[in-house]
Structure 1
Amino acid sequence: MKHIQSRDNPRFKQLRKLATSPRERRETASTLIDGLHLFRSALDAGVRPKLAIVAERARHHAEVLELLAGQGEAVLLLADTLFDELSPSESPTGLLGLIDIPPEAEGRVSGDCLVLDAVQDSGNLGTLLRAAWATGVRDVLLTPGCAQAWSPRVLRAGQGAHFSLNIREHCEPAQALSGYPGSIVATRLDAEQALYALDLRGPVAWLFGNEGAGLSPAVSALASAAVVIPMPGAAESLNVAMAATVCLFEQMRQRR
């Protein structure tokens, strides 16, 4: 087990780039997962971290030591202050993993999917991926304006969803949805049809847009149906992750 205590260590500098730089993650096709839950989710999905990074304060944690048994030299012990610079959490757990970003699926989409257009908030994006995972939606398409799906913050918000989804970044929705066999549905406040009146038993491609601007005109034009989520309360609208979750669970309800 290698022990690093200096901020000038080349290995630490490399890891810090991964923690903070989307470009570094893209170029190296690798990222950091934070916490015991994500570490276990990766292992359960057959994704074996290339390196386990442990804070000094967590070196005697029984669960961590048991989890890392047999990893040998693939364990890096960091001074607590250095570890906290890498962790995306305000309350770091003491365990990070270095993983490869899996290759993206190719071809057109035929089943249920989420199309996320310029969703920029890491928490929203992670929650959207988690909602897709929870409702059995496998494909998630991200337009170029979205936050990076495999960033440590989005991974943490996704709580393991990434390892069960086909995530395509920098995707052109018109191409991916060409010849789509189901409904392409957008939520709009000015839509005349309520979500609960639409037949969602067939394949659905859901379109959800930016937190402030909504869907771009090009992505919005792909919709074959527009629905509104009825809100009898005084709220003007729902957060994009909340709206998507309502829609996905209504789809699941109709199919039961």
Structure 2
Amino acid sequence: MKSITSRDNPLYKELKLLATSSQARRKAGRTLLDGVHLCEVYLDQVGPPSLCVISESARQLVEVDALLADCGSRRVQCIMLPDALYHAVSQVENGVGVLFVVDTPTVGMPSRLDRSAVLLDNLQDPGNMGSILRSAAAAGIEQVFCSKGTVFAWSPKVLRAGMGAHFLLNIFENVDLEALLDGAGVPVLATSSHASQRIFDVDLRRPVAWLFGHEGQGVSPDLLARATHQVVIPHLGKVESLNVAASAAVCFFEQLRQKSAH
């Protein structure tokens, strides 16, 4: 295992860029997976990473040792950083001290929207994005389409919130959602607090596309006009609306409930 102790090391500088700059991650086509769980899921679902990075203190941990052994058997390059240098790269407080550098996957856009999918219009919060991806994967949805203004799906914060869901999904970014909806072969459902139709009264046993928008402004009017159905999630109490990630989870699992009902 190679040890890097200088902040001026070119590889360390590259790691700092990947950790701190979304633009650098997009340009390099790489991102960081932080923590044992994400790294284990990646090895299991995808394969060997480009690079494994650990902190000096993590070398003593049993779970990290097992991960290093797995990486060694797959001939993955591993480097060790002093704790101070590692903590400047990791965004996880009180983490175990291990991360992977991985390539962000590139998948070809399907010619048509013809199966259950999630469409995200200008979603901003990494936590919401990760939570939606996690719920979608758990509900058996495989495709996620993100508009140009939506938070980068492969940022470290979204990856941590997704808990490995990314590796079970096909995620398409910088998508023209209007064009996608114009040629959609499945019904498109958008949640709205102003809608009169309850989500529980819509037939969800067939494939549908779920459309969610910005945390404050919601789905843009142009996209909302293209939705086949606008539905409301009924709730009690003096709360104006649900968080977008909570709304998405309700939608996905209502669809799963209907499909699973005998």
Query: Which TM class, normalised by the smaller chain length?
Result: over 0.9
* 1:157-168 equivalences in 2 (<5 Å): 157-168=161-172
| In structure 2, distance between residues paired with 1:207 and 1:255 | 19
Alpha-carbon shift at residue 81 of structure 1 (Å): 1.4
**CA-to-aligned-CA distance 1:43-89 (integer Å, 9 cap, x gap):** 11123211110011101212212221225571110111111121121
Q: Is the 8 A contact 1:105 1:167 kept in 2?
A: no
Aligned length: 256
Q: In the alignment, which residue of structure 2 is the partner of 1:48?
A: 48
Alignment RMSD, CA only?
1.3
Any stretches of 5+ residues in structure 1 without a counterpart?
none
Match of residue 75 from structure 1: 78
237-246 vs 8-17, which moves further: 8-17
Letter in 1 for 2:52: A
Where do residues 20-169 of structure 1 align in structure 2 (5 Å cutoff)? Answer: 20-69=20-69, 70=72, 74-107=77-110, 108-169=112-173
Q: Aligned runs of 1:208-247 on 2, under 5 Å?
A: 208-247=212-251
Partner letter of residue 152 of structure 2? Answer: Q
Q: TM-score, normalised by structure 1?
A: 0.96
> Quick check: 2:194–2:232 contact (8 Å CA) kept in 1?
yes
**Which residue identity lines up with residue 30 of structure 1 in the other structure?**
R
Deviations 1:104-137 (A, max 9, x none): 2312221100001111111110001001001000
Amino acid at match of 1:92: G
Deviations 1:27-57 (A, max 9, x none): 1111100111111111111232111100111
Q: In the alignment, which residue of structure 2 is the partner of 1:18?
A: 18
1:191 corresponds to which residue? 195
Counterpart of 2:60 in 1: which secondary structure?
coil
How far apart, in 1, do the equivalents of 2:60 and 2:143 lie? 40
Determine if contact 1:183/1:204 at 8 Å carries over to the other structure: yes
TM-score, normalising length: structure 2:
0.94
Match of 1:247, as an amino acid? C
Q: Which whole-Å CA distance do the structure 2 matches of 1:57 and 1:63 have between them?
A: 13
Q: Which segments of 5 or more consecutive residues in structure 2 lack a partner in the other structure?
A: none
CA distance in 2, matches of 1:72, 1:189: 53
> Conserved in 2, the CA contact under 8 Å of 1:105 and 1:166?
no
